[in-house]
Amino acid sequence: MSVSAAILLAASTAFASVPSDVEEFTLSNGIRVITRQTTSANEGVAVFLEGGSRMLDEETAGIENLAFEACLMGSGRYPGETWRSLMDVTQARIEGVYGYDFSAIRLMCLEEDLPELLDAVSDCLIHPELEPAAFERTRDGLLQTLLIEESDPDERIWRVANEGLFEGHPYRFHPSGTVETMSGFSAGDVENHLENRLLAGNMLISHVGPTGADDLGEILEGTFGRIAPGGGDLTPPPPFTIARDTVIFQPESTATAYIVGKFPAPSPSDPDYPFFTSAMDVVSDRFWQVLRTERGLTYAPFAGAASSMRNWAYFYASTPEAAEACSLMAAIMLDGADGGFSEGDLAGTLEVARTGRLMSLSSPYNQAYMLGMYRIQTGDWRNLWIYGDIARDMDPAMLGEVLTRWLGPISWGLVGDPGVCAPVLSSPPSLMEER
């Protein structure tokens, strides 16, 4: 069966697995809401601010990360001590997520605590306290994380690979920022950023839990309904412009080389996306089998696909044998594109991935976040369920078809000893060879 035929077949049957109890509505100020009432004891909520890297530049990369983290230290009506007491009493879980397409605040709490916590979170965003000492601690913590990443080649390698793929693209402005940008931000910068960005048209709220849609709407109108209308005029990120294999190398005296390769992949809104992500899961398992188990070249190689509106595939290895590892990774992907994987290669991997996804969806906290993420990145929250079923019957020919369609120029990132990396620098393996 071809990928296109599988899509048509899935389209006729997949909606059977889509829950019928998900509701959508819009607050009076324009904030979109997706909600699903469940019998769980916990509430899961995700508050999204769309835009991500498209709203950043060389001087502001990381500002939204800092803004959300600093806001969640207290507000006008919930100053620091009151906010911390509320978190202690409710035992709520709250965290920020900062991506290339959006930022989000994720909340998990008991049903009885939801009204007060949504009031507190909304007040933190609208009227952040930004107490000087708390602001400095927050900024210093984020700065320390960046310094650790910069000093650790195993962490830094991912940004190194970005330099080739993201050149000239908004995604080059990393959501976490840089040491230089984070060092210079002030509380005034945070206030200005939120004033310009925190508009109802830029926001989406997703919810899964025992609170019904009518009650949730009433709570949200009294909390997030206070956010000013406007926004909503975001344009999608442009395509990547990488046209040939690129190697970005950073020399470092290490016993091993750190390697990441990235190349453009179908976006979550593309019909190929569920098939391609499944194909990369199979590739990842083959990496482990060949590079680690059979050859003993590396400890933990892996591959996969991201989930950004302008998307990419990635693969990773750390090894003292850089040239051999890179050649093997490229060869494995080319083998998959040529139909060289077996039915057995696919069956176990696809079932493990499906099981993991279903386990993740059992949590209201995760499901609420994924509802919103799929709405933003695919255009339809229903794809959260449809995509999970659509590739279940993938065969080696379908895997080869989708890989062949997307294999292209690689942005290779290497950090390591020049002697170890020299063969890759002079002749990087390509996914376009003999194709």
- Per-residue pLDDT in tens (0 to 9) along the chain, 435 residues: 555 555 555 555 555 588 999 999 999 999 999 999 999 889 999 999 999 999 999 999 999 999 999 999 999 999 999 999 999 999 999 999 999 999 999 999 999 999 999 999 999 999 999 999 999 999 999 999 999 999 999 999 999 999 999 999 999 999 999 999 999 999 999 999 999 999 999 999 999 999 999 999 999 999 999 999 999 989 999 999 999 999 999 999 988 999 999 999 999 999 999 999 999 999 999 999 999 999 999 989 999 999 999 999 999 999 999 999 999 999 999 999 999 898 888 888 888 888 888 888 889 999 999 999 999 999 999 999 988 888 888 899 999 999 999 999 999 999 999 999 998 898 899 987 554
Phi, psi torsion values for 180, nearest 5 degrees: -65, -45
Question: What three-state secondary structure class fits 258?
Answer: strand
Residues 369-427 have pLDDT tens digits of 999 999 999 999 999 998 888 888 889 999 999 999 999 999 999 999 999 999 889 88
In 38-120, which ranges are E strands? 42-50, 93-98, 102-110
CA distance 382 to 375: 8
> What is the distance, to the nearest Å, from the Cα of residue 86 to the centroid of all Cα atoms in its chain?
29
Dihedral of the alpha carbons of 326, 329, 330, 335, in degrees to the nearest 10:
150
Residues 303-358 have pLDDT tens digits of 999 999 999 999 999 999 999 999 999 999 999 999 989 888 888 888 888 888 88
For 253, the token pair is: 């005296």
Question: What three-state secondary structure class fits 216?
Answer: helix
Strands in 203-209's sheet, in edge-to-edge order, are: 22-26, 32-37, 203-209, 42-50, 102-110, 93-98
For 297, the token pair is: 């070249």
For the chain, state the CA radius of gyration: 23
Please, are residues 398 and 233 in contact by the beta-carbon 8 Å criterion? no
- Treating both helix axes as pointing N-terminal to C-terminal, what angle do 63-71 and 187-197 enclose, rounded to 10 degrees? 100
